[in-house]
Structures are given as structure tokens and as C-alpha cells.
Structure 1
Amino acid sequence: MTVPLINLESYDLLQTEMKAEHLDGLHALSASIGWPHRKADWAVNLAAGKGIVAVDESGRIHGSAMYFTLGGDVSAVGMVIAHPRLKLEGLATCLMANIVERTEDRPAFLNACNDVVPFYRSLGALPVGPVFQHQGIVGPVSISKGRCRVAEAPDLPQLIACDADAHGVDRSTLILELWRVSETVVIERRGRIRGFAMRRQFGRGHLIGPIIAEKEVDAIALVEAFVANLPGSFVRVDTRVKHGPFRQYLENSGLVPVMNVVNMTFGQLPSRGSNAVFGLSSHSTG
């Protein structure tokens, strides 16, 4: 789908549907502003969601925006990038207007870097709270035997249900795509899965997320199951947990807080169940 031309001072740009043929250009775009996403990370997002790109007459990409439909009632918005030299000319505003139209005024959320929080406020988004980015080189850690097991394909329905309980919305399309590219571990009690975590290649190394658990001690065990096998590797975890044993465990493992972004919402999101989100699947998908 193609939408009207964007007339900027420097360029006339066309907004068009994001496709696999754009992945190289999207990787170059995100690298130009210092984001760590690999081409493969963009491909995972594109498989799980939809997006638009702003291209010039030669096909060069100057902007992007994505949305992920969750359960038909909620959207996650992410990967909103306007080339720095076009940011002040209103490109991001045009991209977001397109996304708002596509999401049909459904409740939505996004995670915004601090410098663009005023921009999203101007569009009607309200700040909810911080998301803390922990990352670093994993040091030597011990592992508690028997707490977790590797997930198997028959576990998928329970994983999806566990995730839906934690988020208040069905994210099955996303979970199925992450399953394809991730290692997954679960905590099981009385024959039922009570928590899970996924690890995949991302950016400079590995990303652990989502991390879903009933208890903080379970969330720590889920992360431990991965980092114990990743000494010397670069690992990232994004969390909304403000303080406590989980955050301390991340730091003790070598994953230090490096920055935070702001979780923001458009409209009222569904209420959540008894499971908690200890780690995000990504800034873009929550």
C-alpha cells in the first residue's frame, strides 16, 4: 500500500509498505542513529508486524515506523526513525500520523527515548514509567540445578497463555515468531508452566526476553539458566522492574544499567493477570 507524498523542505518522499526488499536500507537507517539492530533483527520485526518506509525517488530510505497488532485490540508501536537531517522537517510526525490511521485508534503503547518523549506527548501519548536497559559482558555465575527445563513444541499453547496473562492481550503471532529464532526455558510446577524466558541473537550479542514469571525468584532462575552458559558474551535485558533482587541479579551477572526509555500509552490498555513481565521481548514489541 502506498500513501500520499510527504513534501519536506529537502525532499519529496513516498510512504510505502515495508517489505523484505527494504531490509538492507532499514539496517543502514538504524545504524545511522546508533541503534544496534542487525538486518536479521529487522527481519524478525517484519515477520511479527507491519510497517511503512519513507523513500526518495532513488529508493533510499529516510524514515520508518512499525506497528504490531496484539490480540486485535491493542497495538505496539516501534522502530519509528526519521533521518536526523529530516527530523525537524516533520518526517516523524507524518510517519506517526500514518501509523495512527492504520491502528484505527486502538489502544497502543510504545517505548520512547527520553529526547522524543515531548514529541509523543504532543500526539496524545501519556508516560507510564521507565524501562531500564541492562547490558554487558556476562561474568562467571552459578546455576541452581533443576529449576528450569528447555521448552518443547507441545509447550507453546501454555507459553502463549502465560504471556497473554502477563500482558493482558494475546501476543501469539509475536511469540510464535520469537519461538522460531529463540531458545526457550520454562519453570513448571504441578504439571503447569508458571513462567518462561526466551533468548535470541540480537544487536551486539544476545537478548533475553520476554521474561514472564509469577515470582521474582522464578524470573531470576530463568535468566540464570541462560547467562550461566554465556560467560564472556554480550547480553541485554530490558525491564520495567524498578528495584529489588531481579535488578540486583542482573548487575551481579555483569549486566549493568546503561540507559532507560519511557513506556507511553495511547488510550487504556487491558488489565493484566497474575503473571508479571520481568523482561521485554524488545523496546518495539514490549
Structure 2
Amino acid sequence: MAQTTGAADPEVDTVHLRPFTPADLEAAHALSMEVQWPHRPEDWRFVAALGAGVVAECRGQLVGTAHCWKWPDRRATLGMVIVAPPMQGRRIGAQMMRALLDDLAQFDVSLHATAEGRALYERLGFVALGEVRQHQGTARPAPLAAMTPGLRLRPLGRADVDRLVALDAAASGMARGEAVRALIADAQGIVLDRDGEPVGFSLLRRFGRGYAIGPVVAPDASGARALIAHWTSQCAGRFLRIDVEAGSGLGDWLEDQGLNRAGSVEMMTRGTPPRRGPASGLYALINQALG
């Protein structure tokens, strides 16, 4: 995968790409801190272990990263695309993206783009589909959320895992069972249950400055609010983050729980888009990298 850019700028001519390795985690974390991303080293290890990536090096220093995650249904996601601020504007991001996309010709590929990155992704054939909104802040205890009659919340059990993997696949449009199983092993979970059968769930994990909720899968908005309210109450007084579909209808309610809107990204796809979102049961992402 190693290659040298062909641009005329002599500084860019010193940049080459190679595969990401575990030995790059420390430098990648430092790079994400440089662009003020909240990821801890543990957050980097989690996402890197599930996929593959490339790094850009300049004169022996890591100046860029990009990762991809392949799922068995010929779908993939891209993320963790970072270029060191002094090197931005020199097409390094495009070089890394093309290196990853060369290996994904047979895949339908999704990503979440910042406003700054959208033009690059459009040039690479991605089409914008909808908005994802980041909410975060110091959580407040939530009042008991009303749910559809017949539903109840209960702790996640080991016997639930296969069913939750299936629920996530139907809601996200991607067979990303490996990621969901790894997340369940590392997170706390709550299940939305109907007559002993899981119909939704949400997970809480350590992330960045505090904790993150995601994914949230539910049959309706009231179920999603109940799943989220469980964690906002448990995490009251702590920093909490959640990334929700713009069409979820949860924005104002999340602000009432102390989770103010902190930004947004655009979901973009090259190829056939996955069928996902509140209509399919997905109310909140795992994160912006994995979807």
C-alpha cells in the first residue's frame, strides 16, 4: 500500500502511505488530540482492532490517518480521517481515501462527513443522505419516560446477544455483528423487552471526556427515550455524549436532559445506501466512525 504522492510541492513529495499498525496507536492518538478530538487511547484501540487503515508519513512523522471497517454483507464504513493541521490542504486526505477505496470497489461504502470534508468526499463519488447531530453535556436525571404498553426495561443478559446483533443489523442496514459483540463485551447494556423478547437496546461505554450512549435501537421514539433516559439518570452529573439521527425527533428532549447540540455531520454513501434511521429502528449511532 506504500506510495508516494506525485504533486509538485516538495513537502508533499516527502509524504508516503503505508498500512496502519498497532505501533501507530500512540502517534495516532497524539494526532487526534492535535485536532481536538476527544478520543482516549482506549477509544483508538477499540476502533482500530475492528478494521484496517492507512497512515501518511512525512520525514518519519505520522501526519495522517484513515480507517475502514468491512462488514460481511459487502458494506463498509470509513472514518478516523485526520490530517495534521500544518499539512492540511495538500491532498493528503484524498490520497489516503483513494488508498482505502481501491480495496473497496465491490463494497457499498458509508461515512460521516464534516462540512470541511464534504467536498472531498463528493469528488470521490459520495452522495449526501442526511444529517447526524452530536449532543453532549453534563447529564441530568430524566423523568420516567412513558413507553408503549407491554414494554419494559431490563438489564442485558448473555442470552440476548444474538438477538441484539440481529436488531442492530436490521436497524443500521449493516451486518456489523463483530463490532456489536465487541461493544457489548466492553459496555453496559439495557434491553427493551416485550414478553421476554428483546425489541430494542442501548449501550453505555466510557468514551472521550466521559461516557457515550450508542447504539440506540428501538421500535419507536418513546422506546428510544426510555432507553436513553435510563443512562442520563445513571450518569447524572457526568459528561455524556450521543450521536442521533436528525429525523429522530429527540433533539429538544435531549437538550432537556442536559445534552446540548454540539455539532453535526452528513451521512454520505458511495453505492447503494443502507436502509437505516428511525424508520428502521436506529435512533443513535455507535459512533461516527462505525455508524
When normalised by structure 1's length, the TM-score is 0.93
Structure 1 unmatched ranges of 5 or more = none
Residue aligning to 1:184: 189
Residue aligning to 2:78: 77
State how far apart, in whole Å, the 2-side matches of 1:5 and 1:23 are.
22
Residue aligning to 1:156: 161
State how far apart, in whole Å, the 1-side matches of 2:182 and 2:201 are.
15
CA offset at residue 272 of structure 1?
5.0
Residue aligning to 2:259: 255
Structure 2 unmatched ranges of 5 or more = none
Superposition misfits of 4+ residues, deviation over 6 angstroms:
none
Residues 106-160 of structure 1: CA distance to partner in whole angstroms, max 9, x if unpaired?
Answer: 1111101112211111111111111111000012323459831111111110000
| Equivalent position to 2:285, from 277, 280, 285 | 280
| Equivalent position to 1:264, from 237, 261, 268 | 268
Aligned with 1:85: secondary structure? helix
Q: How well do the aligned residues superpose, as a CA RMSD in angstroms?
A: 1.9
State the number of aligned residues.
283
CA contact (8 A) 1:9 1:89 kept: no
When normalised by structure 2's length, the TM-score is 0.92
Paired residues for 1:1-286 under 5 Å = 2-6=1-5, 9-11=10-12, 12-58=14-60, 60-143=61-144, 147-242=152-247, 244=249, 246-271=250-275, 275-286=280-291
CA contact (8 A) 2:191 2:202 kept: yes
CA offset at residue 243 of structure 1?
5.8
Tell me which amino acid in the other structure corresponds to 2:124: L
CA offset at residue 257 of structure 1?
0.6
Tell me which amino acid in the other structure corresponds to 1:29: L
State how far apart, in whole Å, the 1-side matches of 2:36 and 2:107 are.
31
Tell me which amino acid in the other structure corresponds to 1:142: P
Residues 223-267 of structure 1: CA distance to partner in whole angstroms, max 9, x if unpaired?
Answer: 1111111111000010113363x2222111100111111111101
Tell me which amino acid in the other structure corresponds to 1:88: G
Aligned with 2:2: secondary structure? strand
After superposing the two structures, state which structure 1 stretch, 181-190 or 2-11, moved more: 2-11
Tell me which amino acid in the other structure corresponds to 1:200: R
